[in-house]
Structure formats: C-alpha cells, structure tokens
Amino acid sequence: MSALELQFQQQKHAFNLCPYPEYSQRQQQLKALRQAIEQHSAALCAATSSDFGYRSSDETRLLEIMPALSGIDYHLKHLKSWLKPEKRHVHYSFMPASNRVMQQPLGVVGIIVPWNYPVYLALGPLMAAIAAGNKAMLKLSEYTPATNKVLSQICQQALGTDAMVIEGDADIAAAFSRLPFDHLLFTGSTAVGRKVMQAAAANLTPVTLELGGKSPVLIAPDAEIKHIAKRILFGKTANAGQTCVAPDYVLVPKAKLELLITELCQAFKDFYPDFATTPDYSSVINTSQYQRLTAMLELAIQSDATVIDCSGQRDSNSKDSEATNSKRRLALHLIIGADDKSNLMEQEIFGPLLPLIPYDTFDNALLYIQQRPRPLALYLMSNDKATVQQVLRQTHVGGVCINDTLVHVAQDDLPFGGIGPSGLGNYHGKEGFMRFSHQKAIHKKGRFNSGRFIYPPFNRKVFKAILSWLTR
C-alpha cells in the first residue's frame, strides 16, 4: 500500500468512528479555520507573491482571503438551518406515516487545487466539505510550494487530521484521483478534467469538475462603452488574467469598436499608470505559461491581426520592456482580427490577451456564442430588459453576470459551476453544503400498518377494491 493510499485509509477509518459530527463540532471547526486564516493572512500574501514571482498583497486579500472569510461567515450563519431535516409530503395511501430528508455526510472528500488561486480554491471547497461533516484530503499544486506550506499550517492548526494536505507532481495528482473518495472535486483545465473523471469512474466516485473555457463578454447595442470599460478591464487584468472566469473575448457592435479600444487602453493606464513598476499587477505564474502567452501573441501578429499593447510599450527592445518581461509581467493586449482557428480563439487564454470581435447584428453575436462550447461564464453588458431576457433564455452557460465581470463568483448565496465542457456540478454557499452531503430519504411508520391491506394473497376482495381505488 502506498503512502497516499495509507493516508486515505486513515481518513476513512477516522470518518467511520464519527460518521455524523454534531453541529457544535462543525461550527467549532469553521471558526478555527477562520481564525487560522486571519492569523496567517500576511504569510499567505507573501507566499503567493513568492510563488507567482510577484503578486500584490492587496490583490491576494481581495480575491482570495476576503471571499474565504466571507464564505466561512456565510456557512456559520446558515449551517444550523441546513442541517435541519426537511419534511416531505406523504401520499394519503401510505398514511399514517411521515417523510423527511436528512443531510448525511458523504465520508472522505478529495479536493484537487489549481495554481491560479491556490488559497481560495483550496479553502472554498474545504469549508463546504467540513460544514457537511466530512473528512478532506487536498492535493495542492506543485507550482505553489510556498503557499502550500502556509495552507498546511492553517489546516493543521484549525482541523488537525480532519484535513490532510498532499503535495506532488502530476503523477501524484493522477494517483490521488484514483483513490476511492466519496466525492472528488477538481478545479483546472477541461483536458485534465477528462482524465480526472476517467480515473474516478473506476471507483464510481462522483465528481464535481470546475473547468473553464472561453467566457465571452457580449456588449449589446444599448450599452454605454464609457461605463463598462473598467468593469471589463477589472475582470481581465485581475491576477493578470489567470482566472477561469476571466473574459476571454469581447463581442462588440462594429460601430463601437474604436471607442471600446480607446476606453480599455485608457482604463488600463488609469489602473496601472506606470506599468513596468506598478505594485498592483501580478506576474504570470511561471516561464512556461509566459512563453505560451507570448507565443499566442506572436502568432496573432504573424497572422496580420491588429495587436494593441495597452501599456504603450510597443518597442520590445526597450529597457522598460526588458525589465517587465524579466518579471514575467505581461500587459493587456487587445487583438482585433484574430484567426478563428488559432489557439488564441480555440483555447482558454488564461492571461491578459483579449480578442475583440466586432459584429453587425446582435443575433449574429448571440449565434457566435451558441455555436461554441458552453462557457463557464457569460458577461452581458445591457440595460435593456428584453435583451437580457433573450440572452438568458437562449444561452447555456455556467453563470451570468450582467453589467459586470468576475464578481458573480464572490456571491455567497449563488451556486458556482460550469456546464458541459466548462464543468460538472456546482458548489459555494448552500449548494456546496449540498454537494458534499447525501440527501438521505427517510420514511417512517408507526404501530398501525396500512400496508397490510395490499399484501398477498391478491385474490382477496379487499385487495381488489383498494387496488381499483388506487388506480382509478
């Protein structure tokens, strides 16, 4: 038995000793987790910055620590009501009896964490799993070793052996996904998600897959470009675009294309006035990812697409540009006229490159989205009620954000998840608690048994009369 399998067996044994933790125990665990996050918040900021090459501590607090703390608070506020058995209707033919649904912990939950938001995408699923009464095992990314160390300290301090932290490369991740978990949550790429689901299928392990895809921004004809440019920009440049729900391309009325370019570039300069030295912009996580993005950019240039560097650093040989690139810092680049068959348009970008696609009619723009794989998010910019209803009814996406980007993920009371190639299942808030719980159906009878009237032998007159009445 491998060390990983032994750890899983230890978790399974521990769960079987306490298969239904009381509310007070779960409450204490969540409070301890919150306290540990607060105590280690400065260390988390320093660690993520180290892993990325540079990342603003304010950005880490805003995008990772704040939603983690808010999420725990939400669980603490609602957990008692979620745990109450839910009464259900009983058909009169089964009376007297009662029906209820009980939320039962699943057992041992596996959580595979990506590198782009290593704090929140570990703690978000973890708080839901713990609230639901489970044990947890977290496989952290090999690309964030400093953050992993702090997360291990947090889990050990708050949860002890109830949450085990696993580190290692792709081989360890593959072995992890083959363990017979009671539920496995994976956050990452669609390609890897397929492999995880295939590995989990051998044990009939239910999975939640939080993937990605190309999340579009759809600018309706009534949208005011000056009002929405910064909202689009925030979603695209947060964490240098390394976000699964970052805007991946923008559909814009042809007549408004030039204004959008102007406003996006001006907004970028307002956000990051001295791009080469700004303390507010994150680096690309590693050299491999940086080279992947710059290769996309180079291919766009070679294919005669129009490429606009919003930082204004157009000379790749300048000292400022060399200093920026040495930190793996890549400015927002707008691309107009990208080849539809290029990697830029077929793969999730996961960086600060933003294709702009002008359209003639709104129906054509909507058709463009409908003909592509279902995305994790859709951002609609419109104040027209009819337009909003049309888009909501005619698109299939994981989630929709109207007149903003990214922030729908931070809503504690909204489920988060994809559809089709962008994911399977959802969590956050109550949906997270439900995802890691089994809805156990309970039917209860008392001393009087009405069922005796339908027992064999079936040739009795009373049975015939009852059956005729029930099937009338």
Distance (Å, whole) CA 148 – CA 166: 9
pLDDT in tens, 5-35: 999 999 999 999 999 999 999 999 999 999 9
- Catalytic residue (choose from 45, 59, 64, 210): 210
Tell me if 228 sits within 8 A of 403, measured CB to CB: yes
- Catalytic residue (choose from 45, 155, 244, 401): 244
Total-model pTM = 0.94
38 classed as catalytic: no
What phi and psi values does residue 361 have, to the nearest 5 degrees? Answer: -125, 150
Per-residue pLDDT averaged across 177-201, rounded?
A: 96
Q: What pLDDT sits at residue 326?
A: 57
Distance (Å, whole) CA 380 – CA 403: 6
Distance (Å, whole) CA 28 – CA 51: 31
Sequence-separated (6 or more) residues with CB below 8 Å from residue 54 = 282, 283, 327, 329
470 — pLDDT class (breaks 50, 70, 90): confident
pLDDT in tens, 307-352: 999 998 643 334 444 445 558 999 999 999 999 999 999 999 999 9
Residue type (1 letter), 257: L
pLDDT in tens, 121-165: 999 999 999 999 999 999 999 999 999 999 999 999 999 999 999
Instruction: Give the residue from 453, 448, 450 showing the smallest Cα distance to 465.
Output: 453
What phi and psi values does residue 148 have, to the nearest 5 degrees? Answer: -60, -40
Instruction: Answer yes or no: is pLDDT of 422 > 70.
Output: yes
Angle made by CA atoms 39, 40, 45, in degrees to the nearest 5: 135
Q: What pLDDT sits at residue 316?
A: 39
Q: CA of 190: how far to CAs of 223, 240, 364, in Å?
A: 32, 21, 27
pLDDT in tens, 176-186: 999 999 999 99
244 classed as catalytic: yes
Give the bridge partners for 399, in sequence order: 377
Distance (Å, whole) CA 58 – CA 388: 34
Quick one: what percent of the chain has pLDDT higher than 90? 90
DSSP E strand stretches across 147-279: 163-166, 183-187, 207-210, 216-219, 249-253
